[in-house]
Chains A and B, each alone.
Chain A
Amino acid sequence: MITKTLLRAFDGKAIWVVAILLIIAVAVPASNLYLPVGHPLRVANHFVPLFGKYLTYAMLALALDLVWGYCGILSLGHGAFFALGGYAMGMYLMRQIGDRGVYANPILPDFMVFLNYQELPWFWHGFDMFWFAAIMVVLVPGLLAFVFGWFAFRSRVTGVYLSIITQAMTYALLLAFFRNDMGFGGNNGLTDFKDILGAPLQADTTRAALFAASAIALALAFIVCSAIVNSKLGKVLVAVRDAESRTRFLGYRVDNYKLFAFTASAVMAGIAGALYVPQVGIINPGEFAPANSIEIVIWTAVGGRGTLVGPIVGAVLVNAGKSWFTGVWPEFWLFALGGLFVAVTLFLPKGIVGALTQGWTALKARRTSARAEGGSDIAPEPSPAE
């Protein structure tokens, strides 16, 4: 039963996406490590963590797409799950510093010494062990999403109301993490990491390994999402998106389905955040900013929501554009990003991938309809709000 579900995940194009991701996971680190400097095919050192960062963003966008593209829940708070996963990893990395910090305290991270902490706060215990931190990376975002979703979906908070309260959630967390007495380093967050699992973070091999881990994690996330959307579960999610109350009258517990999608998505976002932190070397409360969460939405929208490839393409494209813009033309980045929001919603509602597939099927349909007459009319635009 389960194997069949898994096999379905590799239907169609999915197998190609996974294959490409795995090839990237091997090829990029290999070219960086084994090709001589100056070789035209070599990926330069500073690009490895940058591309790795894009992959974690792609995973985050994929996670959002699962709830937004497939279930119609526009979360404006997914940055919070990403950041929580990141903080869990950051806490592990902080504990790894040990007595190599500025204040050389073997237990307390520098910021705690600086803020006159006498002992480690209770919630920092256990983070010196990787396995514990890894569990927390999954558990903390998952639990928050579960509790939040359990309340929200059971009370049938939908549409923009849900979007607004997810935004309120991440905003509240932003304010909380800015506070020094929260015990997460306040404004400055967690940084100055030294090593992960004994390997120094600055080493090329570590960075290559983190890149490979990000690519593999993205591939796994893709397989899980594919297994979800290609099953009857995925069909129910789409049904909820299109006609929630009809789904309910068919006997489906819509709140449970939403809760499942929301929690699974938050866990994925948390893992992405955990992979992001060691590659960029810092996690601070800014990651909770509502603007960040909205940016995730635009990656997904640009690539094409409701497709699994779309968010990956969108996240990589938009962030590559951002890197380029902020390097060359920093003051125009906000114009470009803002314009992108407007243009995509007005002219490209299905995103790049959605538009391409639509064009492709239209082309195929024209060919077949040339032979057998008829053909289908395009779905009408949704009617105005009631």
Chain B
Amino acid sequence: MDQNHPPLLYLDGVSVSFDGFKAINNLSLIVQHGELQAIIGPNGAGKTTMMDIVTGKTRPDEGEVFFTGDIDLTRLDEAAIAELGIGRKFQKPTVFESHTVWDNLELALKKPRGVFSAWFYNSSKEDEERLEEILATIRLTVRRDELAANLSHGQKQWLEIGMLLAQDPKLLLVDEPVAGMTDAETVETARLLKEIAASRSVIVVEHDMSFIRDLAARVTVLAEGSVLAQGSLDHVSADPRVIESYLGR
């Protein structure tokens, strides 16, 4: 790779297996700075496992995973990777249900993560302004003091995206952000993600083709744990192998 301008995320020859089943097989993937990349693929293609590897939840059996060129992610745990600036949104919305919307965002806000700095943390004016700004972006200003448990499904998804914004990551991994959303919410979410991607790199895993078209992102197709095709949506959806394994006909 180019030593002067290394890619933000670099996966090479990564494999991992569970009880003999190869979930990821010799996967190589590059994400550039400021890039919005969509990953599609049939169930069991290894999309979620790929995210698990990048965020430190799963250790690969072999292969290299580097962040900003020189940081070996396979040696770090989830918390360290998150502090490096890799945020993750899960398939199932996971917000802290017994906290208010505001507290959820405050917890995510990029601040020292140590025990004692949390104990003696006092929010500054800038912090509060930043949180207000995010609240406005995810359209939850009026519900700021409500418990997250009481939000609708779509609102929880947005809150989670808002938490990622508060985290201010360099790389965002988003797993099926529009699953279970109405069409209007889906369009809104696409707008939100594009806004976020303006200032950072984003990887979106999604099944919804029209959503990916809305994103206008570069598309990587995964199948059986490795990359099948890459390019624009039109390019990959014309690829006979992709049609064979995923899109169907």
A and B touch in the complex (CB under 8 A): yes
* In-complex Cβ contact of B103 among A1, A5, A235 (8 A): A235
Q: Assuming A231-B118, A233-B119, is B97 touching A251 (CB within 8 A)?
A: no
By the criterion CB–CB under 8 Å, are A239 and B79 in contact?
no
Size bin of chain B's contact surface: 35 or more
Residue of A nearest to B87 (CB): A249
Which of A10-18, A127-135, A145-153, A252-260 contacts the other chain?
A252-260
**Chain B stretch 91-129: residues in CB contact (< 8 A) with chain A:** 94-99, 103, 106-108, 113-116, 118-122
By the criterion CB–CB under 8 Å, are A376 and B146 in contact?
yes
Per-position contact with B for A252-272: 1 when CB-CB < 8 Å, else 0? 111011001000000000000
Most chain B CB inside 10 Å of its own CB: which residue of A232, A236, A251: A251
By the criterion CB–CB under 8 Å, are A250 and B97 in contact?
no
* In-complex Cβ contact of A2 among B77, B79, B82, B120 (8 A): B120
By the criterion CB–CB under 8 Å, are B115 and A257 in contact?
yes
A248 within 8 A of B: yes
B147 within 8 A of A: yes
Q: Assuming A242-B98, A260-B115, is B108 touching A250 (CB within 8 A)?
A: yes
Residues of chain A contacted by B118 (CB below 8 angstroms): 231-233, 236, 257
A55 within 8 A of B: no
Residues of chain B contacted by A379 (CB below 8 angstroms): 97, 147, 149-150
CB distance from B45 to the nearest CB of A (A): 22
* In-complex Cβ contact of A246 among B94, B119, B146, B147 (8 A): B94
Closest 7 CB pairs between A and B? A251-B82, A233-B119, A233-B118, A248-B78, A232-B121, A251-B83, A379-B149
A245 to B79, CA, bound (A): 10
B88 within 8 A of A: yes
B74 within 8 A of A: no
Most chain B CB inside 10 Å of its own CB: which residue of A4, A5, A252, A377: A252
Question: How many A-B contacts at CB < 8 Å in the complex?
Answer: 93
By the criterion CB–CB under 8 Å, are A1 and B94 in contact?
no
Interface of chain A: mostly helix, strand, loop or mixed: helix
By the criterion CB–CB under 8 Å, are B149 and A249 in contact?
no
**Chain A stretch 208-234: residues in CB contact (< 8 A) with chain B:** 227-228, 231-233
Size bin of chain A's contact surface: 20 to 34
A251 to B164, CA, bound (A): 11
CB distance from B180 to the nearest CB of A (A): 16
Give the interface of A toward B (CB within 8 A).
Answer: 1-2, 4-5, 227-228, 231-233, 235-236, 238-239, 242-243, 245-254, 256-257, 260, 376-377, 379-380
**Chain B stretch 119-142: residues in CB contact (< 8 A) with chain A:** 119-122
**Chain B stretch 45-103: residues in CB contact (< 8 A) with chain A:** 55, 57, 77-79, 82-83, 87-88, 90, 94-99, 103
Residues of chain A contacted by B167 (CB below 8 angstroms): 250-251
A4 to B82, CA, bound (A): 29
A231 to B122, CA, bound (A): 8
Residues of chain B contacted by A1 (CB below 8 angstroms): 120, 122
By the criterion CB–CB under 8 Å, are A249 and B122 in contact?
no
By the criterion CB–CB under 8 Å, are A242 and B96 in contact?
yes
Residues of chain B contacted by A243 (CB below 8 angstroms): 94-97
By the criterion CB–CB under 8 Å, are B119 and A5 in contact?
yes
Residue of B nearest to A375 (CB): B150
A228 to B87, CA, bound (A): 27
CB distance from B178 to the nearest CB of A (A): 20
Could you write out 12 A-B pairs with CB less than 8 Å apart? A1-B120, A4-B122, A5-B120, A227-B119, A231-B120, A233-B116, A243-B95, A246-B90, A246-B96, A248-B82, A249-B82, A260-B115
CB distance from B88 to the nearest CB of A (A): 5
By the criterion CB–CB under 8 Å, are A376 and B107 in contact?
no
Residue of B nearest to A254 (CB): B79
B163 within 8 A of A: yes
CB distance from B14 to the nearest CB of A (A): 20
Known: A5-B122, A376-B146, A379-B150. 15 other contacts (CB 8 A): A4-B122, A231-B119, A231-B120, A235-B103, A243-B94, A249-B78, A249-B88, A250-B108, A251-B79, A251-B113, A252-B79, A253-B79, A257-B118, A379-B97, A379-B149
A139 to B190, CA, bound (A): 55
* In-complex Cβ contact of A232 among B78, B119, B146 (8 A): B119
Residues of chain A contacted by B147 (CB below 8 angstroms): 376, 379
A236 to B104, CA, bound (A): 10
Residue of B nearest to A241 (CB): B98
